[in-house]
Structure 1
Amino acid sequence: MKVLCYSSFTFSYLNRARVLFQTLRRFHPDWELVALITDEPPKGFAFDPADEPFDRVVWARDLGIPSFESWLFKHDVVEVCTAVKGPFIHQACASGADVAIYLDPDTALLAPLDPLLAWLQDHDILLTPHLIDPNDDPTAIQDNDLSASRTGIFNLGFVAIRTTGEGARFAKWWNDRLLSYCYDDMPSGLFVDQRWCDHVPALFDRVKVIRDPGYNVASWNLSTRKVSVEKDGRVLVNGVPLRFWHFTKLGPLGDTMTKKYAGQNFPVYEIWSWYKRLVTTATEPAIPDRYWAYEAYEDGTKIAKPERVLYRQRQDLQAAFPNPFASGRGSFQEWLATEGL
């Protein structure tokens, strides 16, 4: 069975992606590992894919998205890195792979993912919910249950499909939705790619909701998952192998929420410390913090989120300014300066 596994990121997340792909390579050396990058290398950084722990790079600009500059401008960095996941997985269905797996760049494997392939013998779509056990504590309900209600029942830091049958049908549907409706707009019922997948069990057959606690462990489900380390070094969660951890919001916020729900479960802190060391080792000093090539107009002026939203909402502006990143006479930037928001 040919497996293609990919992650979507910018260069500011290259350090995390390197850790992900290193752990994937350790457990699954036969999988094809693909980096999907919506970015351009920063000046001063000599990016050579041959030196990286993935097999190849696919640049978002090469996915064949119509009017790419116009489409890209409508999104902030999080929105666009999730939006491109749909076109890629749809195109992967015609790539010769039998299975396509997506993992967020801030995840890392601690055990093999072989059970996924066994489940895909009988199912075409695999999803992991944020929660598999109910919370009883009011604070945990506020932090975790209600958060999942707002952002999506399933965490799309992971999805796996067979590239035929219902898996291929899902990939085409997700492609279409994310090309047009992948925004962080909760009042409109959108939270990037995730809220769409609330519909998946209703719209598609052969869907498996993974209720094994070893998958997609993260701060939002630590209230119901206990991590332990066996004498032989195996890491377990609720008594089963810990397959992969989602180190979301690495930094002060992630630390705060992890400490809040890990409590005295000390192996959690050991895992976070291990991951932080790997990320530090994988960090390139030449990549500026929070770098993204598409964060600014051509003259270097940062693009404000309301400017992207205005362009997204106005088809007349999209028609008038097919490359909204341009600066100078006749540009969208000039129009904003004269017309205002």
Structure 2
Amino acid sequence: MSETHCFTSASFAYLDRVRVLGESLRRYHPEWTFWLCLSDREPAGFIFDAAREPIDHVVRVEELGIADLDRWVFDHDVIELCTAVKGQMLCRLLDAGADKVVYLDPDIALFGDLHNVQALLDRHDVLLTPHQLEPDNERQTILDNEIGSLKHGIFNLGFLAVANTVEGYRFAQWWRDRLLEFCFDDIPNGIFTDQRWCDLAPAFFPGVHVLRDPGYNVASWNLSRRPISIREDGRIFAADQPLRFFHFTKINGAGETMLERYAGGRVAVFELMHWYRSRLVANASSGLPFG
């Protein structure tokens, strides 16, 4: 195993999103190896054939070597579980010899290449993207975005990239160990799944690099400072930088409400939402009760 490997973590309820991510990843990075870490089992009567999916390899939670697995699984809700396995899966890929590992949430879609991520991992051990890159200036926006980051974490762990270096692996082990024991949605006690832990990462690991390009990890929580535009040639931009990937968090729910709130009346945001919903419909699984 070598070169760049990308993985996501999901349950079968998010299989449509995994497929959209896989499609977009193959469009821009067909040379990358794409892995799915599955946290649950197929519902009765549903046949999952990984060979027919835009996925190169599937790793199931029972293959991760987690001690006392049944008890550990049932300690978590589904979101906590899909998050808690990320550190173990990251270490698995690094142990197998991957030069560079990129994690992307299943509700992300690429709109451009990530060659700069690969180049940055030649010089840095870990890449993180903050929820915000600029301060907001309206009270409601501060409440939604800046105070939201103070509660949920400075960095959005829908994206993470790690080089297979001594320091990169040391980070991966630390993050894995914290997630195995402390990956819970417990904001009053200072924890929000995997994200609050990485508030500490730049202090603990000198090779952490904060990726400040506004085209990466655009979402409802930073749209107020990253207006989306579509040029006449079809290229999509965020804050005048090429859009690399968009995080469609909680689409058809609270996330969509926030996207609408901070779209600023720009049609481009609604075009992205329409495109994403249409791809979800095209990738739905008729055999899943929640598909």
By the TM > 0.5 criterion, same fold? yes
Written as runs of structure 1 = structure 2, the 5 A alignment for 1:50-69 is 50-69=51-70
Which residue of 2 is the match for residue 327 of structure 1?
none
Partner of 1:6, secondary structure, is strand
Structure 1 distance, partners of 2:101, 2:40, is 23
Higher Rg of the two aligned structures: 1
The one-letter code sitting in structure 1 at the alignment partner of 2:227 is: K
The 5-angstrom pairing of residues 173-184 of structure 1 reads 173-184=174-185
- May I ask how many residue pairs the two structures share in their alignment? 290
What is the TM-score when the length of structure 1 is the normalising length? 0.84
Equivalence for 1:125: 126
1:37 — aligned with what? 38
User: Counterparts of 1:25-174 in structure 2 under 5 Å?
Assistant: 25-174=26-175
In structure 1, the partner of 2:259 is 258
| Contact kept? 1:93, 1:164, Cα under 8 Å | no
Please state how far the C-alpha of 1:101 moved relative to its aligned partner. Answer: 0.6
**Corresponding position of 1:328:** none
State the Cα distance separating 1:200 from its structure 2 match. 0.4
Instruction: Give the corresponding residue for 1:271.
Output: 272
Distance 2:104 2:191 in 1: 21
- d(CA) in 2 for partners of 1:165 and 1:213? 29
Q: CA deviation at 1:230?
A: 1.5
Q: Which one-letter code corresponds to 1:27 in the other structure?
A: Y
Structure 2 residue aligned with 1:208 = 209
Could you tell me how far 1:94 is from its partner in structure 2? 1.2
Tell me the CA shift for residue 263 of structure 1: 2.2
Deviations 1:84-112 (A, max 9, x none): 00111012111121001100000000000
Q: Which residue of 2 aligns with 1:14?
A: 15
**Identity %, equivalent residues:** 48
Secondary structure class of the residue paired with 2:200: helix
- The answer to whether the aligner puts 1:237 opposite 2:238 as a matched pair is yes
Cα distance, 1:252 vs structure 2: 3.1
For the 8 Å contact 1:92–1:163, the answer to whether it is kept is no
Amino acid at match of 2:54: P
Residues 28-75 of structure 1, C-alpha deviations (whole Å, 9 max, x = no match): 011110000001011121110000001010001110001100111111
Q: Distance in 2 between matches of 1:65 and 1:11?
A: 20
- Contact 1:110–1:235 at 8 Å: present in 2 too? yes
CA distance in 1, matches of 2:28, 2:127: 20
- Contact 1:41/1:47 (8 A) holds in 2: yes
Moved over 2 A (4+): none
Q: Secondary structure at the match of 2:221?
A: helix
What are the ranges of 5 or more consecutive residues in structure 1 without an aligned counterpart? 291-341
Q: Deviations for 1:116-142, whole angstroms, at most 9, x for unmatched residues? A: 011111111000000001001000000
Give the superposition deviation at 1:255: 2.0
Three-state SS of the structure 2 residue aligned to 1:262 is coil
When the two chains are superposed, the root-mean-square deviation of aligned CA atoms in Å is 1.0
Q: TM-score, normalised to structure 2's length? A: 0.98
CA deviations on 1:271-308 (whole Å, 9 max, x unpaired) are 11101100111011211128xxxxxxxxxxxxxxxxxx
Shift of 1:201: 0.4
Q: What amino acid is aligned across from residue 50 of structure 1 in structure 2?
A: A
